[in-house]
A and B are shown apart, each in its own frame.
Chain A
Amino acid sequence: MKPDRLPIVLRALVWTTAVVVVLVMGLPMLNVLAVSFSTPASSENPGLVLFPSDFSVEGYSFVWNTIDIWRPFLNTVFVSVMGTIIHALLAALGGYVLSRSDLPCRKALTTFVLLTMMIPNELTLVSIYAVNKQFGLINSYAGLIINGAASGFSVLLMRNYFSCIPSSLSEAARIDGCSETGIFWRIFLPLSKPGLATVATLELIRRWNNIAMTVTLVSDMAKTTLPVVLRWLLFEMSSTSGTAYVYANARMAAVVISAIPLVLLYAFAQRFFVAGALSGSIKG
C-alpha cells in the first residue's frame, strides 16, 4: 500500500499556508498590543513592533481618563449584558413552546418565527428608525436593549435543544402536579444550560460589536457604544474636535480595550462558539 501522505510539494504548501495564516493574522494583533503599551513617542516608531521598546500604560490612562472611553465601555457592558439576558430568556421561552409537539397551532407559530429570519435587518434600518421614533426609543438604552431582544435563529436553536429532552420528563412532572410554567422553570430550563450558553455567547458578541443598529438608534455620544466611539477616535477626532494629536499608543489602547473582553470570552467559552457555528450551518 502507498504511504498515506501527500507528496512533498503539497505538504510544503500546507505548511506554508499554516505559517502564512498565523503570521498574517497574528502579527498585526501583536503589533497593536505592543504599540498600545509603548510611550507616545516610541509608539510612532516605524516598522514591525512586536514588543514595546519603552513599556508604558500612558496610552490606556489617556483614553480612559482624557477621552473618557470608560463611558462608552460601561454603556456597551450594560446594553450588551441586559440585552443578552433578555434575548436568552425569550429564546428559551419561545423555543420551549415550539418544542411542545402537543400544542395546537404549533406549525403556524413556527412559520411565524421562521419568516422573521427572511427579513434582512440591515435593510429595514430606516423603518426601524421610524418605528423606534414612534415608540420613543431613539437615543435611549432601552431602544438599544429591546431591538434584537429576540431572533428567529435563537428561538429555533433552543427549540431544537428542547426537542432532544424526552417528553416523559414533563409527563412525570405533570402527574406530580407541577404547573406548565413550573415544568419550564424547574425542569427544562436547567437542562438546557449548554444551549442557553451558546445562544448567550453568540448574542453577547453580536451586541458588543454592533454598529448598524447603534448608529441608527443613537446619535447622542454620551449614550453610544465602544465601536462607534472607537471609529470616531480613529478617524474623526483630530479633524472634528480640534484636540491635540492622539498618539498611536492611545489609539491602539482603545482598540485593545474594545477587543480584549471578546478574546477573554472566547478563551473561556470556546466550545459554545463551535456549537453555534455548527447550528448556523444547519440547513433549513
Chain B
Amino acid sequence: MPPKGQSTFAAALRHRSLYLMFLPVALYFLLFSYYPFFKGILMSFQANRLIGPRPFVGLANYREVIADPDFIRSIFNSLVIGLADMGLYFILSLFLALCLAELTKRSVRRTVQTVSYLPYLFSWSVIAGIWVLVFDQRGIVNTIVGLFGAEPTFFLAEPGMARPLIIGMGAWRSIGYFAVLFVVAINDIDPTLYEAARIDGASRLRQIASVTIPSLRPTMNVVIVLLAMGVLTHFDEMFVMQNAANKTRIGTLLLYIFDMGITKFKAGFATAGATLVMAGTLLLVSLVRKAVKYDEA
C-alpha cells in the first residue's frame, strides 16, 4: 500500500478537472469576498486615503470614530429601528402565519398569502414610491384620518414621523415573506399530532398552543437569528428615504459608514466604523443564539 500522502496526491491529480471547475468560484471569493474583508480591516488602521500609500496610524481612526457624536447617534438610530423591525417582523409574521393556517378555504388562504408576499418583491425605491403616494397630503391615509375630522398631516415632512414610517415600511414589506417561512413549517407538522390531540379532547385553540407553537420552535429560532444578523445592517431604506431634515432620526450606522467612506472619501475612518459594527453584529448574534439555545437544538 502506498503511503497516505502519496495516495491523496494521486487522487487529487486524478480530479484535476474538478479543481479546475472550482477555480472561477475560488477566484471570485478570494478577490471579491476575502480580499475586501481583510483590506477593510487593514484600512481601518491606516490614514484616510482611498488611493496612494496609506501610512499606519494605529488606533487613531477608532478613537476618532468613537468620539464622533454622529457615530454615537447612528448607533442609537440603528438599535431603535433595527430592534423595532426585528420584533415587529417576528411577531406580525408569526401571527399572520397562524391566521393563514386557520383559513380553511384554500383559495382565500392563497390570495391572502400572495398579496402579503408581493411587497417583498419590490426594491426599497418602489416601496418608497408607494408610501409617498399613500402618505401624501392628499393620499389615502390623510383621507381616512380626515373622516375622523383631523387636519391632513404631511407625514413625510414630519421629523417625528420619520422613524415610525421607516419601521412601518419595513414591516409592510417583510412580514409576508417571513410568514411564508412559518407557513411552510406549519404545513410540515405531522398531522397525526393534531389527531392525537383531538382524541385527547383538545380544542382547536389548545391544539395551536400545544402542537403548532412548540413545533414551530426551530423555525422561530432560525428567523430570530436571521433577523438579529440584520439589526445593524439596515441600509437601503434609509438611503432611499434620507433627506436633510430626517437624517438625524433615521441615519443608521451603515448610512454613516457609506457617507464617510464613499461620499467623503474618509476610508480609514469609515472602515474603522464598519469593523466596530461587524464586531457588534457578531456579539448581538451570539447573544441571540445563546438566548434561544440555537446551537443546542
> What sequence of 0s and 1s flags, for each residue 187-199 of chain B, a beta carbon within 8 Å of any chain A beta carbon?
0000000000011
Asked whether B22 is an interface residue with its Cβ less than 8 Å from the other chain, the reply is yes
A126 adjacent to B15 (CB under 8 Å): no
A7: shortest Cβ distance to chain B, in Å?
A: 7
> What sequence of 0s and 1s flags, for each residue 138-153 of chain B, a beta carbon within 8 Å of any chain A beta carbon?
1110110000000000
B121 adjacent to A266 (CB under 8 Å): yes
Known interface pairs A18-B112, A259-B126, A281-B222. Does A126 touch B270 (Cβ–Cβ under 8 Å)?
yes
A172: shortest Cβ distance to chain B, in Å?
A: 18
Asked whether B210 is an interface residue with its Cβ less than 8 Å from the other chain, the reply is no
A149 adjacent to B32 (CB under 8 Å): yes
A123 adjacent to B233 (CB under 8 Å): yes
Known interface pairs A17-B99, A126-B261, A259-B126. Does A112 touch B29 (Cβ–Cβ under 8 Å)?
yes
A contact face: mostly helix, strand, loop, or mixed: helix
Asked whether A274 is an interface residue with its Cβ less than 8 Å from the other chain, the reply is yes
Residues in B whose Cβ lies below 8 Å from that of A235? 128, 240, 243
Asked whether A180 is an interface residue with its Cβ less than 8 Å from the other chain, the reply is yes
Known interface pairs A212-B235, A283-B218. Does A127 touch B177 (Cβ–Cβ under 8 Å)?
no
B118 adjacent to A126 (CB under 8 Å): no
Interface extent on B, as a size class? 35 or more
A47 adjacent to B29 (CB under 8 Å): no
How far does the alpha carbon of A265 sit from the alpha carbon of B117 in the complex, in Å? 13
> What sequence of 0s and 1s flags, for each residue 24-54 of chain A, a beta carbon within 8 Å of any chain B beta carbon?
1111110110010000000011111000000
Residues in A whose Cβ lies below 8 Å from that of B75? none
How far does the alpha carbon of A100 sit from the alpha carbon of B99 in the complex, in Å? 43
How far does the alpha carbon of A146 sit from the alpha carbon of B27 in the complex, in Å? 12
A130 adjacent to B267 (CB under 8 Å): yes
Asked whether A168 is an interface residue with its Cβ less than 8 Å from the other chain, the reply is no
Closest A-chain residue to B254, C-beta based? A122
A277 adjacent to B261 (CB under 8 Å): no
B29 adjacent to A150 (CB under 8 Å): yes
Residues in A whose Cβ lies below 8 Å from that of B12? 104-105
How far does the alpha carbon of A252 sit from the alpha carbon of B11 in the complex, in Å? 60
Taking each of A6, A184, A265, which has the highest tally of chain B beta carbons within 10 Å of its own beta carbon?
A6
Out of A105, A127, A205, name the residue touching B36 (CB < 8 Å).
A127
Q: Number of A residues contacting the other chain (C-beta, 8 Å)?
A: 101
Asked whether B236 is an interface residue with its Cβ less than 8 Å from the other chain, the reply is yes
A40: shortest Cβ distance to chain B, in Å?
A: 14
Asked whether A179 is an interface residue with its Cβ less than 8 Å from the other chain, the reply is yes
B31 adjacent to A5 (CB under 8 Å): no
A1 adjacent to B274 (CB under 8 Å): no
Out of A1, A7, A26, A234, name the residue touching B201 (CB < 8 Å).
A1
B198: shortest Cβ distance to chain A, in Å?
A: 6
Out of B11, B32, B125, name the residue touching A128 (CB < 8 Å).
B32
Asked whether A211 is an interface residue with its Cβ less than 8 Å from the other chain, the reply is yes
Asked whether B155 is an interface residue with its Cβ less than 8 Å from the other chain, the reply is no
Residues in A whose Cβ lies below 8 Å from that of B1? none
Closest B-chain residue to A94, C-beta based? B25
B83: shortest Cβ distance to chain A, in Å?
A: 17
A209 adjacent to B122 (CB under 8 Å): yes
> What sequence of 0s and 1s flags, for each residue 57-94 of chain B, a beta carbon within 8 Å of any chain A beta carbon?
00000000000000000000000000000000000000
Residues in A whose Cβ lies below 8 Å from that of B212? none
Asked whether A162 is an interface residue with its Cβ less than 8 Å from the other chain, the reply is no
> What sequence of 0s and 1s flags, for each residue 135-171 of chain A, a beta carbon within 8 Å of any chain B beta carbon?
1000000000011011010010000000000000000
Which parts of B19-66 form the interface with A (CB within 8 Å)? 19, 21-22, 24-26, 28-29, 31-37, 39-40, 43, 50-51
A209 adjacent to B124 (CB under 8 Å): yes
B143 adjacent to A47 (CB under 8 Å): yes
Asked whether A75 is an interface residue with its Cβ less than 8 Å from the other chain, the reply is no
B175: shortest Cβ distance to chain A, in Å?
A: 8
Out of B99, B115, B136, B262, name the residue touching A125 (CB < 8 Å).
B262
Closest A-chain residue to B16, C-beta based? A180
Out of B25, B26, B39, B124, name the residue touching A130 (CB < 8 Å).
B39
Residues in B whose Cβ lies below 8 Å from that of A21? 96, 112, 115-116
Known interface pairs A126-B274, A133-B51, A147-B32. Does A2 touch B239 (Cβ–Cβ under 8 Å)?
no
A104: shortest Cβ distance to chain B, in Å?
A: 5
Out of B8, B17, B281, name the residue touching A180 (CB < 8 Å).
B17
Residues in B whose Cβ lies below 8 Å from that of A244? none
B278 adjacent to A180 (CB under 8 Å): no
Q: Assuming A1-B199, A113-B25, A122-B235, what are 4 further A-B pairs, CB within 8 angstroms?
A: A7-B205, A126-B257, A209-B122, A210-B123
5 contacts between A and B (CB under 8 A): A2-B201, A11-B102, A112-B26, A235-B240, A252-B133
Give residues in A with beta carbon < 8 Å to B.
1-2, 4-7, 10-11, 13-15, 17-18, 21-22, 24-29, 31-32, 35, 44-48, 90, 93-94, 96-98, 100, 102-105, 109, 112-113, 116, 119-120, 122-131, 133, 135, 146-147, 149-150, 152, 155, 179-181, 184, 205, 208-212, 215-216, 226-228, 230-231, 234-235, 248, 251-252, 254-255, 258-259, 262-263, 265-266, 273-274, 277-278, 280-281, 283
